[in-house]
Amino acid sequence: MVSSVPRLVIAAPSSGSGKTTVATGLMAALSARGFAVSPHKVGPDYIDPGYHSLATGRVGRNLDAYLCGPELVAPLFAHGARGCDVAVVEGVMGLYDGAAGQGELASTAHVAKLLRAPVVLVVDASSQSRSVAALVHGFVSWDPEVRVGGVILNKVASDRHEALLREALESVGVPVLGALRRAAPVETPSRHLGLVPVAERGASAVGAVDAMAARVADGCDLSALVALARSAGPLHGAGWDAGEALASSPPPPVPSPTLGFARAGGPPSSLGAPPPDPRSALDGPRPQTPDGLDDAGRAVRVAVAGGSAFTFSYAEHAELLSAAGAEVVAFDPLRDEELPKGTAGLVIGGGFPEVYASELSANESLRKAVAELALSGAPVAAECAGLLYLCRELDGLPMCGVLDASARMSERLTLGYRDAVAVSDSALAGAGTRMRGHEFHRTVVEPGAGAAPAWGMRAPERRVEGFVERGVHASYLHTHWASEPGVARRFVERCRTS
């Protein structure tokens, strides 16, 4: 199968150059002109895709070559872009910045090459004129496999400034596709983890996206940008499909008691040889179709936390749960006083419970319902914000009390990719399951790991982290289940049998 969806990647020399404004504004401007726009974000970020979704009316999707592997980038893109007229991919950091110490892996340039997509370089042109040519020339020539098809100049001071910049860039041979005047920044408030998510801003987020769209429409050649997108090379291979991914995924690995990690949050022992590859531990025949039905033949109900406090999730997680036979139902821990009726399992992803600690704590009836479900042995998968919610307290305020741990805000930002292995058998992953993830928080949980930790981190440092208790799997680690679809099948099966 060949995908020929027109596409382009919006990149920049560094963070802060205006990628989000240009990418989101371009998505909204093209949508306003009748294009069905597929929005994508390079890297693990959860917040920008929310603005992309608002701009396009479609789910914003991530393309992360570290979390999911390079081989899944094009299939996941094709899955999200199916039926669209054009796709816009917002890059991450600088064009060539990727996973630390691993070359181009997971960089915007890497993803652009995997997608065979042209790149538009957004350049902060303030305080320079002719030097812009040297800057752009360097990015164009650094990797000949990356096709920089145009430049958008940002923070241009005047007509005279724009003329000087355009004249300088003529020698580079890269067309200028837009020039955005220096102006008051679009209102996109930030806090300790970046932009405030769309779900928390309401009408003001709509106004911000409209302002980005107007700025891009006024300053950029939309026809030329669409023409550039149409020059992207064909992508060969089928788009990702949750059902097919489940059918072809291996069963969980056989639990191993000797993975080389210390328990109880202590320092890891010598790891020795790498843990076994879960794909080599086939324990009996693999079922060809997922079975998420209860004893009465009904789909088991999995409740997924949402609302303003829990906005971090990848769309593929719910799709995999549904493909595994679950009925996925959303609930809002800030507003709902009880779990959805018939809940058999619970997924609590990332977000900002520290911002809403008072409101979450005040919803005592839901906290008790979550605790009762967890204590019954039902599967509960909690990542980062979910981990904090399950703790005994957060910044001194009572939480669900599922875990005998306390959480608090911290001045230190914990951020980065992680290479992890499950060290305890759980409802989410069998011991020995290898997954890559990322951490992104300014909080601390004490203790950092339970008697049965969730993960052993292999890189960048070796340590254990998280909690496995009864059916609960709680950790700071954000993972992308498309990289290991079997975790969704395992979770739904545990929901059915617990």
Residue 304 sits at the vertex; the CA angle it makes with 299 and 307, to the nearest 5 degrees, is 145
Our answer to whether residue 84 is catalytic in this structure is: no
Q: Which two tokens stand for residue 495?
A: 């929901």
C-alpha span between 11 and 124 (Å, rounded)? 12
C-alpha span between 452 and 403 (Å, rounded)? 12
* Enclosing H/E stretch for 487: helix 486-497
Q: Encode burial over 176-205: b for 16+ CB neighbours within 10 A, e otherwise.
A: bbbbbbeeeebebeeeebebbbbbbbeeeb
The burial class, CB within 10 Å (0-12 / 13-18 / 19+), for 432 is buried
C-alpha span between 366 and 25 (Å, rounded)? 39
Indicate which residue of 384, 391, 400, 495 is catalytic.
Answer: 384
Q: Are 56 and 244 in contact (CB under 8 A)?
A: no
Decide: helix, strand or coil at residue 339.
coil
C-alpha span between 410 and 420 (Å, rounded)? 24
Q: Are 192 and 159 in contact (CB under 8 A)?
A: no
Decide: helix, strand or coil at residue 352.
coil
Q: Are 156 and 165 in contact (CB under 8 A)?
A: yes
C-alpha span between 418 and 428 (Å, rounded)? 18
Catalytic residues: 384
